[in-house]
Amino acid sequence: MVFGFPPFFDENEQTNSREQSDQVIYSKIKKGFNPKIMNGYGSWFPASHVVSASCRDLISRLLRTSVADRITAEEALEHPWMKEGTVLPADPLQRSAAPTVIKSMLTFRRNGGLQAEILGLLKECNYLNPSQIDEVTEFFKAADTDANGLISREELHKALQKVDPHISDSDVDSIFRSMDANNDGFVDYDEMLTSRVNRKLQSKEERLRKVFQAIDLDDNGKISQEELKATLESATANVNISDTRIKELIEEADKNHDGEIDFEEFLALFRENAISDT
């Protein structure tokens, strides 16, 4: 629709059989899309068709070869390019209430210290892209009506009511308890950002597997105490985590008590107790 031709095609489609064309196209798909501006027509952005950087960014994210890195339909709909020209509501809260930010809060449930450590690690590693961070920032600022850098239970309730007038007190209480990680009676910016990181991570099993494989340093299909300690300490300079604490984190998820965490146990950290939004 943007360029007038598909990203992967057979130049000899008129003379090739359907089966031959399919093989040519599949071969190009396996090679992937090159997100660069180049002359001619192919699996790249043609120099003869000028489009915005935002449009190119959306297309390149949709055509990434890695399933884990490719954006979801939900994320695509909230990409900045999709919102260009949209008439925004006058109310700051309604204007800043991106559906994914709201769903992040509604579906987030804490499930122990290991889940919190991994989400914190991803947050520090800039797991969210700039536009996703901006959405959280805008909503947080709009919900924080007294501008003290914290969202109270009452402020959260009022903010969510702007989006869903029928939300119940019990739902607000449940959301608030899950997000208030330090139990200080408020939701701070980092706690809200954590719920958004969790939403992105949970949206595809391939993303969870990619994180698991990054921690599984020897690639044997299990996370050992040594691997977890090395991963968590590498993200924060000059911080040493005791062996006792690492053992406690492993035991939280180690359902079969073999002293390590396999992928199914890792998956349960983020899938058990999670609230479906369907």
187-210 confidence digits (pLDDT tens): 999 999 999 999 999 999 999 999
- Residue 33: half-sphere exposure toward Cβ, Cα within 13 Å: 21
Question: Encoding tokens for residue 235?
Answer: 């993200």
Query: What integer is the mean pLDDT of 82-103?
Result: 74
Phi-psi region of 165 (alpha: psi -120 to 50; beta: other; left: phi over 0): alpha
Q: How many residues does the chain have?
A: 278
Q: Determine if the pTM surpasses 0.85.
A: no
For the chain, list the domains and their CATH numbers. Answer: 18-83 (no CATH), 89-278 (1.10.238.10)
Environment class of 265 (CB within 10 Å of its CB; exposed 0-12, middle 13-18, buried 19+): buried
pLDDT band at 91 (very low <50, low <70, confident <90, very high): low
Report which residue type is found at 6: P
Average predicted confidence (pLDDT) for the chain: 90
Asked whether the beta carbons of 225 and 250 are under 8 A apart, the reply is yes
- Of the ranges 71-80, 81-90, 200-209, the best mean pLDDT one: 200-209
Asked whether the beta carbons of 273 and 109 are under 8 A apart, the reply is yes
Report which residue type is found at 186: F
Instruction: Report the 10 Å Cβ neighbour count for 54.
Output: 15
Query: Which residue from 40, 48, 159 is spatially nearest to 151, judged by alpha carbons?
Result: 159
